[in-house]
Structure 1
Amino acid sequence: MISLTSPVETRAHHWRAGIKLGALCASTLILFFIQNWLFQSAFLALVIVLYLLPGWRFFTHGLKPIKMLWPFIVLVGAWHWWSNELQQGAIIILRLLSMVALANLVTMTTRLSDMIEVVRFLTRPFAKMGFNTRALEIAMALVIRMTPVLIGKGQKLTWAWKARSHRRSGWRILLPFTVLALDDADHVAEALRARGGLTNND
C-alpha cells in the first residue's frame, strides 16, 4: 500500500475498512490461484474502471504510485522473454499490476486510523495472550506513511543529480538515499521512544 488517502471523495471512502481489506485479501488469493492471462487482463481492466469511476483527477492521482513498478515489469518481462515463457510472464505482470493497484485503491479510500483499528481488532486475541500487538500497528502505519516520503526524497535526489550532471544518476544516488532513509529511521525511533516506545497501552 503506497498511497495516502485521496483528496477526491468517493463512495468507497464511506465503506467499512474491514470490508475493503477483506475484499483485497480475497481478490489477491483469486489472482494467485487463476493462471489464465485472459482472466488476469479482464481483472486489470476492471481495476482500471474502478479508478476511472470517481473521475480523471482520482485516476491520475492513483496512477502516479503505480508507475514505480516499471523496473519490476521490465525485469520480469525480460526474464520470461529470455526463458521463452512469455505467457507466464504476462500473467505475472498483469497480476502484479492488479494487486498493487487494488492495494493502492484501498489506501486511497481508507483512513490510516481505520486500517489500524482493523488490525487492532484482528490481533485482540493475541493481545489478551500477552503479545505486544502495538508493534504491528505502528509498523503498518510507518510503512504506509513513510513510503511516499521516501519516494519523494528519492525524486529530489534524482533532480539534484540531473541539475549537476548530464549522466544518469542510477546507482550513484543509492548511498545518499540510504543515508537519508537511515536518518529518518533514527528520528522516528527517537520520536517513538519519547512517546513510550512500543508497549501496549491496554
Structure 2
Amino acid sequence: MIVGLYRAGDSRLHRAGPGRKLLALILGGTLLLAISSLWLAALGVLMVLALYGLAGFGPRILWAQLRPIAFVLAILFLAQLWLATPAEAVLVVLRFAALVLAAGLVTLTTRTSDLVAAIERGLSPLSRLGLDVAKISLAISLAIRFIPAIGQIAGEVREAQLARGRRPSPLTLVVPVIVRLLKMADEITDAIDARS
C-alpha cells in the first residue's frame, strides 16, 4: 500500500485549506496541459520549485520527489524526441515534471484524511444523483498519491535490474512496472471495498 507522504510543517502551504490546494492543482495542471509554450512550461516548473521552498522543503526532499521519476522522464524525452521535435520533447518532460512535483507538494503538505474530506465536500452535490461520494473521493485521493508512486516503482525496478547485472531498457522496465502497478491497484480496490 502507498505510505503517507505528509510532512508536518507550519508554512503557509501547510496551513492552506486542502480544497484550495486541490483546486489549484486541478487548475494548474489544466493550464500546464493547455499551454504550448516551452518558456511558460519552464516558468510553471520554476513556480512549483518556488512553492517547495515556501513550504520549507529543501533540495533533499525535492530530489526525493524527482529521483524516482527521473528514468520515466528520460524515457518520455527519448520517445518524444523520436516522435516529435526536440522542443516538443522538452515541453512534455517539463509538463510531466511540474505535474508530478505539484501533486507531490499537495501530498507533502496535506494529510490524507484532510484530502479525502475536502474531496467529499466538493463532490457532495453529486450524491443527489446516487453516486457514492465517499468512494469517489477516496479513489481520487489515492490517484493523487499514486502519481509519485509510479516513479518510485520504476526506480525500484530499475535498481533491482541493475543489482542483477541487467542493463534496464524501456521494454524490460515497462512489464515489471505494469505488474507492480496492477498489484497496487488491487490493493487500492480492496481498501476502497473495505471502507464501504
Q: TM-score, normalised by structure 1?
A: 0.72
1-side partners of 2:87 and 2:157: how far apart?
37
Structure 1 residues 81-90 or 108-117, which shifts more?
A: 81-90
Assess if the C-alpha contact under 8 Å between 2:68 and 2:154 holds in 1. no
TM superposition shift of 1:133: 1.9
2-side partners of 1:39 and 1:187: how far apart?
35
1:45 lines up with 2:46 in the alignment = yes
Pairs aligned (count): 192
Assess if the C-alpha contact under 8 Å between 1:47 and 1:102 holds in 2. yes
Assess if the C-alpha contact under 8 Å between 2:5 and 2:107 holds in 1. yes
1:20 lines up with 2:16 in the alignment = no
2-side partners of 1:71 and 1:153: how far apart?
7
Aligned to 2:104: 104
TM superposition shift of 1:67: 2.2
Assess if the C-alpha contact under 8 Å between 2:139 and 2:192 holds in 1. no
2-side partners of 1:105 and 1:179: how far apart?
24
TM superposition shift of 1:16: 0.7
1:81 lines up with 2:81 in the alignment = yes
Residue by residue over 1:93-148, the C-alpha shift from the partner in whole angstroms, topping out at 9 and shown as x without a partner, is 11111111111111111111111111111221222332222221332344456777
1-side partners of 2:5 and 2:139: how far apart?
16
Residue by residue over 1:45-96, the C-alpha shift from the partner in whole angstroms, topping out at 9 and shown as x without a partner, is 22222223444x5432233132232233223322333345111111111111
Assess if the C-alpha contact under 8 Å between 1:2 and 1:104 holds in 2. no
TM superposition shift of 1:178: 3.8
Cα distance 1:147–1:40, how it changes in 2: closer, same or farther (>3 A)? closer
Matches within 5 A, 1:40-189: 40-55=41-56, 58-83=58-83, 85-143=85-143, 151=152, 155=156, 158-159=159-160, 162=163, 165-168=164-167, 171=172, 178=179, 182=183, 185=186, 189=190
List alignment gaps of at least 5 residues for structure 1.
Answer: none
2-side partners of 1:79 and 1:192: how far apart?
35
SS of alignment partner, residue 5 of structure 1: coil
Structure 1 residues 81-90 or 29-38, which shifts more?
A: 81-90
Percent identity among equivalent residues? 21
SS of alignment partner, residue 131 of structure 1: coil
Cα distance 1:25–1:169, how it changes in 2: closer, same or farther (>3 A)? closer
Structure 1 residues 113-122 or 80-89, which shifts more?
A: 80-89
Cα distance 1:36–1:10, how it changes in 2: closer, same or farther (>3 A)? same
Assess if the C-alpha contact under 8 Å between 2:80 and 2:88 holds in 1. yes
